[in-house]
A and B are shown apart, each in its own frame.
Chain A
Amino acid sequence: MSTETVTSLRATGARPPRRARGTGGRATAVRAAGAATRAGAALSWVVIGVGGLAMLVPFLWMLGVAFRTSPDLYADPARLWPVHWTLHGVRAVVDQLPFGQLILNTFVFAGGATLLLLLFDSMTAFALSRLRFRGQNAVFVLILATLMVPFQVTVVPVFLTLFHLGWLNSYQGLIIPRATSALGIFLLRQAFLSLPRELDDASRIDGAGNLTLYWRIILPNAKPALASLFIIQFAALWNDFLWPLVVTNDVHMQTLPAALTLFSSQSGVDHAALMAGAAISLAPLAIAFIALQRYFVQGVANSGIK
C-alpha cells in the first residue's frame, strides 16, 4: 500500500501550498514543505518515466535482434540495435516454420471465431434485452454462471468431444467451441439495455419483426460496443495459447503462439529467427492498437466499469 500513497500524495500535493503561501504566518515552513513536495514530484516522474521505458525497451530489443546476425549479437549483447542490419532472421523463420500458413491459421481462427461470436452473442443479448420469453431469467442466470467456470475445467472433455467428432487439427475444431462467450453476451446486453425503448416502439409501428429490429435498428446503434468487443476478443484469440495447443498438434494447423513456443524450446535456436517470428506475430495487434487505441482502451475499460 505504501507506494501508491506516496505517489498520489505527491501527485496532487503541488497545489495546496500555493494557496497557503499568501496567508503569511506559516509561509516559510510551507515553502520548505512545498520544495520537498516538488522534489518528490520530480523524483516520482523520473521513476514513472523509467518504468515507461522499461515497458518498451524489451520490444525494441526484440526488433533489434530480429534484424541482427548471431556474431553481432554475441559480440556485444549490450547494444540495443544491430551494427549491420540483416533480413536473415525473417528468411530463417519463413524457412524453418510454415510461417505463411501459421499467419493464415491465426487469422482464420481469431477472425472467424470473433465474427461468429459477435453474431451469436449479439443475437442472445438482443433476445435477453429486447424480447420476452419463457425461461428468460433462467437463461441469463445460466450464462452468468458459466462466467465463473475456468476453461481448464472443460478442456479435457471438450478435447475428447473434438476427438470423437474428428475435429482435432481442423478450423471448425478451433473455431466452433470459441464462437460464443458469456462475457460477450453480458457486455452486449448491457450495451443494448442502454439504447432507448422508443427505437423498438417506432420500428414496431412500422411493422418490423424481431429480425428487422435486431439487424436494422439495434446492431447499427450499438456499433461502438460491437467494435470494442471485436477488438478485445480478436486480440484474446490471436494471443491464445492453451486452446490451440490442445486442439492442434500438426504444425500446419497451429497458430502463431503455439508454434513459436515450440520453436523457441528447440535447442540451438536461431535468435534472429525467433525474434523475427515474435515481431511478426505481434505486428498486427501492435498496428491495430496504434490505429484504434481508443477502441482498445474503451473495450478494456468498459469491461471493468460494468
Chain B
Amino acid sequence: MTTNRIPTAQPARRRSARRFNSAYLFIAPSLVLIAVFIAEPIVQSGWMSLHDWMVGESSHRFVGFANYTRLFHDSRFWNALRVTVVYTLVVSVGQVVLGLAIASRLRRTTWYSTLLRTAYFFPFIASLVVVGIIWKFLLDPQVGLVDAWLAAVGVSPPAWLQSTALALPTVMAVGIWKNVGFTMIVLLASMQQVPRDLYEAAALDGAGAWRQFRNVTLPALRPALLFTTVIATVNGLQLFDLVFSMTSGGPIFHTESVVMYLYQKGFVEFQMGYASAIAWVLFVIILGISAVQLRVLRYRDVD
C-alpha cells in the first residue's frame, strides 16, 4: 500500500528519500508506543482468546473457539450484555435529548444562562468514581439526603440501589446526570457557529420558532449530534467505573456490566483467555454499532 503511493508524490521526493528523513524521528515515539501498547496487544488478545490462558501456568492449551462457545452459553455474560445495552440505549438517548433541550434553552448568553451552563457542566469534570461514591451515599437509606428530603415531603423512599428493579434505572439516571453537560457544551459550541443570517432568512420566509429549529438548527447540529451520540454509545458500552463504585454489580448481578465481568474474569480469577474472548465480543459490538450510527446519521454527507 505504501509503495503504491510513492509515484504520486513529487519527483523531488525521490531524491531526498535517499538520505535519511528526520520525519521518522518525529513519529518514532508515538508509533513505537502504539505498536507495543495498542497494535500488538490487539493481535495478542485475539490469539489469547483462542487459548485456555491462565496466569501463572507455564503452557497455554489451544482451544480454538471454545471460549466463544462457552461465552455463548454463559448466562452471566448474557445478563451483563443486557445490562450494558439497556444502560447504553437509555443513557445515550437521555443524554443527547436532554443535552439538546438544555443547550437550546441556554443558547443566548446572559449572566444566568452562563451560570447555569457552568452548573450543568460541573459534574462532567468530576470522576465517575467520585460521582458514584457521592450518589451511593446520597441514596443511602440512613444518611442519604435524597431519602431524607423525600421523607420530609411525605414520600416513603424506595430502596434505590438495593432493589433489583430500581438499581439499574438509578445508575442510569446518575449516568445521565454526570454526562448531560458534555452534550450540552458540544451542542452549544456547534449552535454558536450557525450564522445568524440563516435564522433571519428563515424568519423572512415566515418560518416560526419550530420550523427554524427543524430546518436550520437541527441540520447544522448534525455533526455534533452524531459525535455526541457515538461518544455516549461507546462510553456506555464500556460502562465500568460507575457501577463498580455505586453497586459493585449488585444486587445479585442486576447492574453487572460487560466490562465488570471482563475485569472479574481477567483480573480477579485470572482467566485471561476467557477475558480476552469477552473483550473481542465487546470490540465487535462497539465497531458494529458505531458503523451503523455513522451510516444512519450519514457523517460523510455533512462533512
**Cβ of A203 < 8 Å from any Cβ of B?**
no
Q: How far is the CB of B202 from chain A (nearest CB, A)?
A: 11
Give which listed residue, B125, B134, B280, contacts A153 with CB less than 8 A.
Answer: B280
**Cβ of B302 < 8 Å from any Cβ of A?**
no
Question: B125 and A285: CB pair below 8 A?
Answer: yes
**Cβ of B50 < 8 Å from any Cβ of A?**
no
Q: Which of B61-69, B74-82, B259-267 contacts A (4 or more CB under 8 A)?
A: B259-267
* Residues of the A chain whose Cβ atoms lie less than 8 Å from the Cβ of B44: 157, 160
**Cβ of B149 < 8 Å from any Cβ of A?**
yes
Question: A127 and B27: CB pair below 8 A?
Answer: yes
Residue from A52, A142, A286, A305 having most chain B Cβ neighbours under 10 A: A52
For residues 3 through 51 of chain B, which have their beta carbon under 8 Å from a beta carbon of chain A?
A: 5-6, 9, 13, 17, 21-24, 26-27, 29-31, 33-34, 36-42, 44-45, 48
For residues 189 through 232 of chain A, which have their beta carbon under 8 Å from a beta carbon of chain B?
A: 209-211, 214
**Cβ of B299 < 8 Å from any Cβ of A?**
no
Q: How far is the CB of B36 from chain A (nearest CB, A)?
A: 7
**Cβ of A112 < 8 Å from any Cβ of B?**
no
**Cβ of B193 < 8 Å from any Cβ of A?**
yes
**Cβ of B118 < 8 Å from any Cβ of A?**
yes
**Bound state CA distance, A148 and B289, in angstroms?**
11
Q: How far is the CB of A157 from chain B (nearest CB, A)?
A: 4
Give which listed residue, B97, B131, B267, contacts A159 with CB less than 8 A.
Answer: B267
**Cβ of B72 < 8 Å from any Cβ of A?**
no
Question: A77 and B286: CB pair below 8 A?
Answer: no
Q: Please report whether the interface of chain A is mostly helix, strand, loop or mixed according to DSSP.
A: helix
**Bound state CA distance, A120 and B31, in angstroms?**
9
Q: How far is the CB of A179 from chain B (nearest CB, A)?
A: 6
**Bound state CA distance, A143 and B32, in angstroms?**
12
Question: A61 and B145: CB pair below 8 A?
Answer: yes
* Residues of the A chain whose Cβ atoms lie less than 8 Å from the Cβ of B26: 123-124, 126-127, 131, 210, 214
Q: Please report whether the interface of chain B is mostly helix, strand, loop or mixed according to DSSP.
A: helix
Give which listed residue, B38, B116, B217, B224, contacts A149 with CB less than 8 A.
Answer: B38
**Cβ of A53 < 8 Å from any Cβ of B?**
yes
Q: How far is the CB of A279 from chain B (nearest CB, A)?
A: 9
Q: Which of A21-29, A87-95, A257-265 contacts B (4 or more CB under 8 A)?
A: A257-265
* Residues of the B chain whose Cβ atoms lie less than 8 Å from the Cβ of A124: 26-27, 29-31
Question: B126 and A304: CB pair below 8 A?
Answer: no
Question: B29 and A123: CB pair below 8 A?
Answer: yes
**Cβ of B160 < 8 Å from any Cβ of A?**
no
* Residues of the B chain whose Cβ atoms lie less than 8 Å from the Cβ of A264: 133, 136, 245
**Cβ of A83 < 8 Å from any Cβ of B?**
no
Give which listed residue, B98, B266, B287, contacts A3 with CB less than 8 A.
Answer: B98
Give which listed residue, B40, B45, B125, contacts A296 with CB less than 8 A.
Answer: B125
**Cβ of B147 < 8 Å from any Cβ of A?**
yes
Given contacts A44-B105, A304-B186, A153 and B29 within 8 Å (CB-CB): no
**Cβ of B222 < 8 Å from any Cβ of A?**
no
* Residues of the A chain whose Cβ atoms lie less than 8 Å from the Cβ of B29: 119-120, 123-124, 179-180
Question: B121 and A297: CB pair below 8 A?
Answer: yes
* Residues of the B chain whose Cβ atoms lie less than 8 Å from the Cβ of A67: none
Question: A51 and B145: CB pair below 8 A?
Answer: no
* Residues of the A chain whose Cβ atoms lie less than 8 Å from the Cβ of B259: 152, 242
Given contacts A5-B210, A13-B209, A153-B282, A242 and B119 within 8 Å (CB-CB): no
**Bound state CA distance, A210 and B189, in angstroms?**
35
B residues apposed to A, CB below 8 Å: 1-2, 5-6, 9, 13, 17, 21-24, 26-27, 29-31, 33-34, 36-42, 44-45, 48, 55, 97-98, 100-102, 104-107, 115-116, 118-138, 142-145, 147-149, 151-152, 177, 181-182, 185-186, 188-190, 193, 208-210, 212-213, 217, 223-224, 227-228, 234, 237-238, 240-241, 244-245, 248, 259, 262-263, 266-267, 272, 275-276, 279-280, 282-283, 286-287, 290
Q: List 10 A-B contacts (CB under 8 A).
A: A7-B101, A58-B134, A123-B30, A148-B290, A150-B237, A179-B33, A180-B33, A240-B127, A281-B127, A300-B186
